[in-house]
Amino acid sequence: MNEQSSGFLKNYGSILKLLIGIIAGTVLGLVLGKKVEVLKPLGDIFLNLLFTAVIPLIFFAISSSVANMERDKKMGKVMFITLLVFIGTVFISAVLTVFAVWLFPLPQNIETTAKVVEEMKTQSWGEQATSLLTVNEFYELLSRKSMLAFIIFSLLIGFATSRSGETGEPFKKFLIAGDEVMKQLLILIMKIAPIGLGAYFAYQIGVFGPQLFGTYGHSMAIYYGLSLFYFIVFYSLFAFFAAGIPGVKIYWKNNIIPSFTALSTCSSIATIPANLTAARAMKVPDHIANLAIPLGAPLHKDGSSISAIIKIAAVFAIMGKDFMDPETIILALGLTVILSTVEGGIPNGGYIAEIMIMTVYNFPVEMLPVVMIIGTLVDPMATLLNATGDTVSAMLVTRFSEGKNWLKNAI
């Protein structure tokens, strides 16, 4: 019993601490009202530390990962199909979430709008794409407002290092060492997250009022309802497309252990062994399972895709803006695909993804705790979708690479 308790605390300890901080902040905000503004500096300190760490963190994480990639042309076709399947399912989940938000719109807090809204510059598509993907000067890359441009720069540095061969080895070791240092720095910063987020939540409740609960509650209802629907219905549809009725049966028969593993560990990485065992039981060839499952853990995030759209829609609702504008939706879908892929390769990547949402949409900094809190509340269900989606994706990859009769031939 003690071992089970310690295991639970180990897996969910950080989430529980965040929830305790959020609950404490809620109580303080309700009791003290606007007097709670004195706690806001605690939240500002946490956010400032996070903002200053995010740029070097992303640089070392992405460039070191790309620099370490092995060039194996034998797996080129399977790798290409796998990435297409990952992007396809993430995009489907994002589109489904946009439809759900349109069907069940989040309540807009008009009273809050005047206090937090910053003017968003109107730009043409060309100007917007240019400003998102590139900068004029090198120093502009170091600003969190140029996040996408900085990610592209980090990728290019990684590829250049990989192409440099033996000459680039010292620089490659520097990138790997920097990655480890920044991981440890972020772990240290996140230790004060319960205090920082709790203080900011107290500030939001005290200043903006309890109407925020409507947005949070509505967001959670949409997320958990849609995620459960996606988990049961769409994963069944994917399995059916991969191998017909036998595919659906073999998927759910072997998906029980990975599902409980994901929920109990709250980690896609920790679910890899269970997923590999399940994939083999589903008759997925080893050369596909051994690529798709480990690669899917950091890169394939259907649950994170759904939460990204919910977070964006929630902030738009709080700010009294229209989320269903076509340009907003297109940008949200593109951003979701990028974030759902990038965040898995970075420690505490969910928080980094949330900062990217803020910078791309030019949201005021006061809205960052909103998306961070939603991310914390949806984490268990998001992990379930992220982890168990890897096995059904492996089945789809097998369908595209081995033909429609792959399961019949394997049995």
- The domain segmentation of the chain, as residue ranges, is 2-410
Q: What is the pLDDT at residue 112?
A: 45
Q: Is the backbone of residue 33 left (phi > 0), alpha (psi -120 to 50) or beta? A: left
Rounded mean pLDDT for each run of 10 residues along the chain, 411 residues in total = 59 72 83 83 81 79 72 63 90 94 77 44 58 79 74 84 88 90 82 81 71 72 93 96 93 89 72 85 86 80 90 84 84 81 57 72 75 79 90 94 87 74
Give the contacts of 172 (CB within 8 A, at least 6 positions apart): 64, 67, 68, 161, 162, 164
Q: What is the pLDDT at residue 7?
A: 60
> DSSP class of residue 393?
H
Q: What is the pLDDT at residue 348?
A: 53
Give the contacts of 252 (CB within 8 A, at least 6 positions apart): 236, 239
CATH fold of 2-410 reads Proton glutamate symport protein (1.10.3860)
Q: What is the pLDDT at residue 237?
A: 96
Long-range contacts of 291-294 (CB under 8 A, 24+ apart): 291/75, 291/78, 291/79, 291/82, 292/78, 292/82, 292/85, 292/390, 292/393, 292/394, 292/397, 293/390, 293/391, 293/394
For the whole model, what pTM was predicted? 0.70
